[in-house]
């Protein structure tokens, strides 16, 4: 579990203040906030790319910062809003890159790495694409492939930065359902930022909201999910 | 897929074998295959064909191997590091360093060593100085695009300096410099091959050491760092290997264009992969094939007129590069 305590997050001036925030295993979290309110800054701070201005982050009860640089790629995986594809790069090759933290010095791929990548492709139901080129598949398929890569990386914490932003409604739902399944079956802790509030509310367990009116992050539990009130808080 | 890739490997290997034999036998004086056979097993220092083989043909073939693979690998690394298929070993301005120092020593008469090695020495020193400069700048420039731009700027700047030097120099030294800048694979003596091979091996080991980093860098520096790659260290290591490869070739053969740009692109199209554990050996062999073909053209045309290798690599390479650009935009 990751605990953020009394933290001020930002580059010079605090963008977000977080009295208390927990990321537990087996739960799916949503992060909402208007553009420029610091969603990405928050994620970068948790993975230690930006230092906290104040406060501390604990992992399983201990400060996360020492030796984080060596452990980061085995703790956190990251999916960005868009993977445009790369010429001559096949889907399976791309997913195998998720295994980079586990490879030997010269990058030799073992049977275990191959199995993990195949399993990840199976989990997102796109094994049939494994020999396709990342440039020739659809946007929705590419996003699935990006998620498969994060799964192959096999980290306890997975962050997705607006993974549904460029997808149609059907694919948006598909991605969120997939993440729900993944969190339950693999006991992972997954955080998704999104502006698709309706779909987010249907799938996540907890929402972190950076309100428009203040910089203090709020935690909204599932029992208090109400679309209108969250829209009000976030965007007005 | 696997079958066709095996065929490509076999084709390239067979191609190198056949081209090498052709390369050794062809030239202004034709050497027969029986001469070559006796050269290998019964060397006679008084036989003219044997002397030609030892003093000219073997070093030249050897340099085809070294220069072709070095430039192609340097190009591969630059294209991956800068995520740009049009990057090459020359964009970092490393060869500009060689050109500038060679121009200085030849055109102004100011030189480090006043003997046959003067040119080579100047080129190596120049590549070294500019490499240190680039490595120094790489520490400050956080992304590779800025570094690429700075490399191009350094190239233009030194290019201008060389032009100025050329315009004020006398005819004889201008000719010497122009000849160097056309490139030649015939400048190396048998005794130098050991040292060259040692440097080459060092650069090759560094390249192989960074194959994992290169694979991750395909995704860009940010993603690579999230996958646990030490991007800064890798970038310096990759640039070091590029400098060694490029400096070595430029020093001994002059600036040879287009191999670094054309061969890695061609290899990616042929092998349809971004896995550097395949691309590195493939570019190594592919560069050798490309340069062997170019140099055999030079040897064949030498019956009509002597041609610089740089002209041939450009004549074959330029249409290829244009094809890549059009295909990429289409």
Show the domain range for B202.
Answer: 2-329
Show pLDDT as tens, one digit a residue, over chain A (236 residues).
999 999 999 998 899 999 999 999 999 999 999 888 889 999 999 998 899 999 999 999 999 888 888 899 999 999 998 899 998 999 999 999 999 999 988 889 999 999 999 999 999 999 999 999 999 999 999 999 999 999 999 999 999 999 998 889 999 999 999 999 999 999 999 999 999 999 999 999 999 999 988 889 999 898 888 888 888 888 87
Distance CA A32, CA A193 (A): 6
Q: Which of B274, B279, B283 to mutate to test the interface with A (most CBs of A within 10 A)?
A: B274
HSE-up of residue A30 (Cα within 13 Å, Cβ side): 26
Q: B286 pLDDT band (50/70/90 cuts)?
A: very high
DSSP class of residue A191 equals E
In the structure encoding, which two tokens stand for residue B294, read together? Answer: 């170019």
B311: CATH = 1.10.3470.10
* A192 touches A30 (CB < 8 A): yes
Distance CA B291, CA B298 (A): 10
Which residue in A88, A104, A105 is closest to B272 by CB distance? A88
Which residue in B218, B226, B274 is closest to A73 by CB distance? B226
Interface ipTM:
0.90
CATH number of A2-235: 3.40.50.300
CA distances in angstroms from B17 to B11, B22, B291, listed in the order given: 10, 9, 13
pLDDT digits (tens, 9 = 90+) for A17-53: 999 999 999 999 999 998 888 899 999 999 988 999 9
Q: B137 pLDDT band (50/70/90 cuts)?
A: confident
Q: B61 pLDDT band (50/70/90 cuts)?
A: very high
Q: Do A87 and B268 touch (CB under 8 A)?
A: yes
pLDDT over 70 (residue B113): no
Helix (H) or strand (E) holding A20: strand A14-23
- The predicted pLDDT at position B115 comes to 55
Which residues of A fall within a CB distance of 8 Å from B229? 100
What are the structural domain ranges in chain A?
2-235
Answer whether A93 touches B (CB < 8 Å). Answer: yes
* pTM of the predicted structure, to 2 decimals: 0.89
* B8 touches B42 (CB < 8 A): no
**Domain tally, chain B:** 1
Residues B188-198: what's their mean pLDDT?
88
| Sign of the alpha-carbon torsion through A128, A108, B260, A83 | positive
């Amino acid at each position: 579990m990751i605990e953020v305590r009394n933290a001020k997050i930002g580059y010079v001036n605090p963008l977000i203040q977080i009295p208390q925030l927990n990321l537990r295993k087996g739960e799916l979290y949503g992060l909402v906030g208007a553009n420029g309110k610091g969603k990405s800054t928050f994620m970068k701070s948790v993975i230690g790319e930006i230092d906290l201005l104040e406060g501390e982050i604990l992992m399983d009860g201990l400060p996360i910062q020492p030796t984080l640089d060596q452990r980061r790629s085995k703790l956190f995986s990251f999916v960005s809003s868009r993977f445009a594809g790369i010429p001559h790069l096949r889907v399976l090759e791309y997913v195998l890159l998720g295994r980079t933290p586990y490879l030997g010095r010269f990058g030799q791929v073992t049977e275990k790495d191959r199995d993990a990548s195949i399993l990840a492709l199976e989990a997102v139901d796109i094994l049939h694409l494994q020999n396709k080129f990342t440039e020739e598949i659809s946007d929705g398929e590419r996003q699935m492939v990006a998620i498969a890569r994060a799964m192959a990386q096999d980290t306890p914490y997975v962050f997705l930065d607006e993974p549904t932003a460029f997808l149609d409604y059907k694919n948006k739902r598909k991605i969120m359902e997939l993440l729900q399944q993944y969190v339950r079956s693999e006991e992972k802790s997954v955080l998704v930022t999104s502006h698709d509030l309706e779909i987010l509310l249907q799938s996540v367990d907890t929402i972190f909201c950076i309100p428009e009116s203040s910089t203090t992050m709020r935690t909204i539990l599932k029992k208090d999910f109400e679309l209108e009130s969250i829209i009000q808080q976030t965007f007005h | 897929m696997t079958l066709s890739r095996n065929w490509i490997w076999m084709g390239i290997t067979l191609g190198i074998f056949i081209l090498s034999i052709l390369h050794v036998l062809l030239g202004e004086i034709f050497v027969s295959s029986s001469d070559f056979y006796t050269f290998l097993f019964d060397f006679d220092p008084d036989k003219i064909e044997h002397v030609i083989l030892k003093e000219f043909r073997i070093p030249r073939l050897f340099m085809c191997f070294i220069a072709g693979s070095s430039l192609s690998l340097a190009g591969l690394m630059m294209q991956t590091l800068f995520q740009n298929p049009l990057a090459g070993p020359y964009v970092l301005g490393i060869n500009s360093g060689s050109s500038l120092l060679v121009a200085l020593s030849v055109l102004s008469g100011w030189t480090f060593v006043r003997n046959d090695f003067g040119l080579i020495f100047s080129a190596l020193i120049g590549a070294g100085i500019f490499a240190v400069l680039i490595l120094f700048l790489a520490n400050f420039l956080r992304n590779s695009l800025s570094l690429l731009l700075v490399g191009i700027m350094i190239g233009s700047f030194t290019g201008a300096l060389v032009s100025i030097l050329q315009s004020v120099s006398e005819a004889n030294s201008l000719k010497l410099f122009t000849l160097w800048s056309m490139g030649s694979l015939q400048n190396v003596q048998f005794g130098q091959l050991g040292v060259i091979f040692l440097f080459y091996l060092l650069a090759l080991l560094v390249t192989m050491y960074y194959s994992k980093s290169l694979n991750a860098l395909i995704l860009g520096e940010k993603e690579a760092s999230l996958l646990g790659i030490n991007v800064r260290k890798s970038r310096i290591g990759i640039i070091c290997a590029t400098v060694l490869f490029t400096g070595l070739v430029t020093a001994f053969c002059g600036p040879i264009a287009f191999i670094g740009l054309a061969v890695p692109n061609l290899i990616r199209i042929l092998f349809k992969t971004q896995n550097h554990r395949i691309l590195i050996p493939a570019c190594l062999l592919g560069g050798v094939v490309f340069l062997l073909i170019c140099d055999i053209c030079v040897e064949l045309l030498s019956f009509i007129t002597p041609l610089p290798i740089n002209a041939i690599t450009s004549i074959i390479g330029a249409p290829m590069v244009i094809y890549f650009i059009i295909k990429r935009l289409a």
